[in-house]
Amino acid sequence: MATSTNSLIRVTDVCKEYNGGSVHALSHCNLSVKKGEVVAIIGPSGSGKSTLLRCLNLLEQPTSGTIVNGDGRDITAWAPGDRNMGIVFQNYALFENMTVLGNVEYALKIRKDRKASAKADATEMLDIMGLSEHLNKKPRDLSGGQQQRVAIARTLVLNPDIILFDEPMSALDVDTRISLRREIKDLQKRFGTTMIYITHDQEEAFAMSDRVMIMDNAKLIQLDTPENIVNDPANDYVHRFVIDNLRAKVDSIKKYVRD
C-alpha cells in the first residue's frame, strides 16, 4: 500500500547520463517540494537545472534514482500525462493556427471529464489572466508577454498538482518580466499552486520563490530560503554566483536612483 509523505513530490538520488555514462547531466539529485511551495532552480548553462525539470515531466527518463508523488507512489516511469504536471516553456509552445481561446480550450477538450465545460472554463481562465479582449486573436497577433499569459492560462486551467516553468521570461523585455513576475506570484497565492521555476536570473529566483536551489556541474550545491542563502552561502561558488551578482545589481539600482 502506498504511504503518504509530507511532500507533493520527492526526488531521491536521481541521475541522468548520456553516451554510456560518459556525460553526467544530473548527478545524485535530491529535492522535496511541499504543496503550495515555489522552488526556483538557478545555475549556469549546463548545470543540470533543465535536465532535472525534464526528468520530473519525463521528457527525459532518469538513468537512476526515484521520483515519488504526494501519495508515496513511485512515478519515475509514469507517462507525462499521468503525472498531473503542467509545464510552461520559454518559447510559449502555442498552436499558431488556433485562436487564444482555442489554445486554452484544446487542453481541456482532450480531457473527458472537462470537455463539456471546456469553453466556459477556458474563457474564465483567460479573463483571470486579463486576456478577455484577445480571445479570438491568433498568437502571432499578441505581444510576447500576452503569449506567455496564454501559455500559463492553458496550463493553469488544467489544475495540475505542480507547474514547471522552464525560463518562462527569458525572451521578454525587462518591464514585461517584472509585470508577469507579479502576476505569477498573485496567481500562485490565489490558487495555492505548487511551482518549480527555472531561471537564469538570480534576482528573479529570489523574488519568486520560497526556496532557491542552486546547481553547478550537474549537482545540487545549496537548497534553502533566499534569506538563509544570503546570510549563509554554502561555499565560495554560491557566494560568487549569487551573492556578488545580487549585490552588483543592488549597487547598480542605487546608482541609477542617485543619478
The β-bridge relationship of strands 38-42 and 64-69 is unpaired
- What does the pLDDT read at residue 56? 93
Tell me if 128 sits within 8 A of 149, measured CB to CB: no
**Model confidence pTM above 0.85:** yes
* CA 9/CA 209 separation, integer angstroms: 17
pLDDT at 33 > cutoff 70: yes
Confidence check: pLDDT of 256 > 70? no
In the sheet where 85-89 sits, what is the strand order?
85-89, 162-166, 194-198, 38-42, 211-216, 219-224
In 3D, which of 200, 70, 180, 86 has the Cα closest to residue 131? 180
Average pLDDT over residues 47-64: 92
* DSSP secondary structure letter of residue 78: -
Q: Is the pLDDT of residue 107 over 90?
A: no
pLDDT, tens digit, for every residue of 136-149? 999 999 999 999 99
**Measured between alpha carbons, how far apart are the two ends of the chain, in Å?**
65
Q: Which of these ranges, 58-67, 120-129, 167-176, has the smallest mean pLDDT?
A: 167-176
| pLDDT tens figures, 177-215 | 888 988 999 999 999 999 999 998 888 898 889 999 999
Close Cβ partners of 51 (under 8 Å, ≥ 6 residues apart): 16, 25, 26, 60, 218
Q: Tell me the average pLDDT of the chain.
A: 89
Dihedral sign, Cα of residue 118, residue 120, residue 125, residue 129: positive
Confidence band, pLDDT 50/70/90 cuts, at residue 25: very high
Report whether pLDDT(18) > 80: yes
DSSP-derived secondary structure letter, 139: G
pLDDT value, residue 249: 65
Q: What is the mean pLDDT of residues 249-258?
A: 46
Helical H runs in the chain?
Answer: 49-56, 100-109, 118-128, 144-156, 174-191, 202-208, 226-231, 236-238, 244-258
Give pLDDT, residue 90: 85
Confidence of residue 254 (pLDDT cuts 50, 70, 90): very low
Between 55 and 258, name the one with better pLDDT: 55
Closest by CA to 108, choosing from 97, 96, 95, 122, is 122
Euclidean distance between CA atoms 63 and 54, whole angstroms: 13
**pLDDT value at residue 250:** 54
